[in-house]
Structure 1
Amino acid sequence: MSDPTWSFSQSFSAQFQASRTELESRVEASKSTQPTTDALQALSVELAKLTKTLSDATGSIPSYDQRQYELQLKGLQTSLEQLRASLPKTKFAFKRKIAPPTSSAAVPVVPELPSSERVSTAMSANLTLSSYSMRYLTAAAISNPSQATDLAISDLDKCIVNLLPDASPTLKISALHIRNLTDSVLLLPVIEGSVLLHDVRRCIVVVGCHQFRMHTSTNVDVYLSIPSNPIIEHCSEIRFASYPPALSASKDATFSDEFSVQDFSHIKSTPSPNWTKLPPEDRIKAWPTDASLSETEVLAVVNGLVSH
């Protein structure tokens, strides 16, 4: 049975992103027209409702996700302010005093982080595996003296990452945050928490988790063990397959690819063009689990595996 917290988190994420995407579309549509004051007010009310929904979920969703959602709402808030500023000013108007709104009616304000801190703040409390090229990486490459169990993997090019129990027996991971990877292979264990990926290109990802979300990525093969439905957004050429039994040491792993991917960039009844199942003939049979590979060998293996 899955953890109720993760079940709620996954359900919340799907509902929140669907509502946020719909509101974002309405805001973008308003930019090409001359919106009325009433129309902007309606959008502001919807944003306030969405902000309150996120505030009410605090503590029940991963802190990294919370920060990302807050930044998304802040972006919507900025767009609405720009639209409001573009309205023609009324030259003459009589004003009357309006009683200030009560605290219960106040629109929550989403805090804004400086752009230079948006990624570093999210990753500062995590274990980190970052900034390597043409390397075979295990737990020995992970840095950060903290006792955190969230792992941030970022800025890798032409690498093989092996964090499977055989290669990294003492490593304990509760959540994974993956960003800015190119031409790399990730061999990751089955974890209890979530996996969030951004800006992954021409990679192979093997992982098991309770939640899987991928953003702004392309040409990625994902071998996945998951009890829920994976989510993608602003992605293309993504192929899914089941977690390879040969790599699993977890009794919680599942080896079925009968999950249904939710594409938040294609909220239509027709099949999404952005993902498909990985054909059996294209699935990898021999995995690179030898940690003694040299840089030249790593490059050769990666080029052979990611060139689909």
Structure 2
Amino acid sequence: MEAADEAVQADELESRNDTLTMKERLLKRQKARLEDAERRKEAKENHSVAKESVDYFFNTFNGERAAVEELLCGCLGADQKAVAERLEEATSKTVQLQKLLNDSMVFLTTYDQRKAQVALQKLQTYLNETREQAVPKKKFGFRGRTKASTATMEDTAVSPPADHNAVQVEGDPAGAQCGLSNKSDMVLVMTAEEIQKEDVLLSHLSNCKVRLYGTPSTLHLKHIDRCEILCGPVSTSVFVDHCERSTLALACQQLRTHNTENTCIYLHVTSRAIVEDCHGVSFAPYSWAYPNLDEDFHLAGLDPKQNNWEQVDDFNWLAAGTPSPNWTVIPEGDRKTTWDP
């Protein structure tokens, strides 16, 4: 009888244990379902927030872009004062558009980033073309403080900005543009006082060393061969076209490089660099230094701590997940750190 009671008690205990185990399983399943539902809810909310952010970005971006295009269209037939005001406003809005894009990179897909960057590039081209049509072109004038153009690089040492033996260019009295062109085998220097936030053009230079101090508004490099060009912080964009076998040190908001081969670019850029129709282009961080560089970064409105030098978009290579063969990163051991003798 006693054995039978023990057996009954054992059965009851096992039954209770089974009941507890079943309850625990049910509670665990319920907890897992609640956690899964919470994760799905959070993911849905995050997706909704991201979609709202993307929608807000493109609505704002497209609206501001249309406003810039309207300003540029209004330049046709307007007087010079009105044109200057419209161009200034259009330039300011374009800079703000780039800042909006930079700030939105965290939630934009790579495709959306490229789509916006292409649109911004077309807008910048439209702005530049309108400026060139509306503003009389500068007549370049060079001071006589230069050696003969047939002098060799060995005959001329790299000069500091105050050295009057170096070539310097006259600034444009009308404020249109300043620069250097059609020079070979020379050291060329422009001071901060000469640049004064102007648009700077360097064109048709061969085997030259160029030093640009201060803060240009924009910088255009065209038809550059075997040159070393070092430039202080540029307030907006740098445009490189038909450059080969050269070394560039550039700091800017945007870099657009076209038709360029076998060129090293030491870069500080706050957006993403763009290359198109380029081969053998290599990148490293900006490493040129000179007195007042920090102050020039501030004057140009560039953040010295924000550098996207290795984030390069190749418009000829849009294969996702596959690196472009047209540009590379310069290995640390091969990077140039000393620029002046």
- TM-score interval (norm. to shorter): 0.5 to 0.7
Indicate which of 278, 287, 308 corresponds to 2:339. Answer: 287
Distance 2:197 2:311 in 1: 32
Is 1:194 matched with 2:224?
Answer: no
The structure whose Rg is larger is: 2
SS at match of 1:284: coil
Matched letter for residue 152 of structure 1: L
Residue 277 of structure 1: CA displacement?
A: 0.9
**CA distance in structure 2 between the partners assigned to 1:148 and 1:286 by the alignment:** 26
Q: Which SS does the other structure have where 1:286 is aligned? A: coil
Displacement of 1:63: 2.4
CA RMSD of aligned residues (A): 3.8
> Which residue among 115, 125, 128 is the counterpart of 1:64?
128
By percentage of residues, which structure has more helix? Answer: 2
Percentage of pairs with the same residue: 27
Gaps of 5+ in 1: 20-52, 69-112, 114-119, 166-171, 291-308
Corresponding residue of 2:313: 262
Partner of 1:180: 223
Determine if the alignment matches structure 1 residue 149 to structure 2 residue 201: no
- 2: CA distance between counterparts of 1:209 and 1:242? 12
Gaps of 5+ in 2: 1-91, 102-111, 140-175
**Cα distance change, pair 217–61 in 1 and its aligned pair in 2 (3 A):** closer
Q: Deviations over 1:94-147 (max 9, x none)?
A: xxxxxxxxxxxxxxxxxxx9xxxxxx987774212101111110117x999xx8
Per-residue CA distance 1:222-246 (angstroms, 9 max, x = gap): 1111111000000011111111163
Pair 1:284–1:240, CA change in 2 (3 A):
same
Matched, 1:274 2:323: no
Residue type of the alignment partner of 1:187:
L
Query: 1:1-308, aligned counterparts within 5 Å?
Result: 5-9=94-98, 14-15=114-115, 63-64=127-128, 125-139=176-190, 149-165=198-214, 172-244=215-287, 246-247=289-290, 248-249=293-294, 250-251=297-298, 252-254=303-305, 256=307, 259-269=310-320, 270-288=322-340
Give the match's secondary structure for 2:284.
strand
Query: Does the Cα contact within 8 Å between 2:272 and 2:309 map onto a contact in 1?
Result: no
Distance in 1, matches of 2:308 and 2:217, equals: 23
Count of residues in Structure 1 that have an aligned counterpart in Structure 2: 192
* SS at structure 2 position matched to 1:271: coil
Higher relative contact order (CA 8 A, sep 6+): 1
Instruction: Give the aligned residue type for 1:163.
Output: L
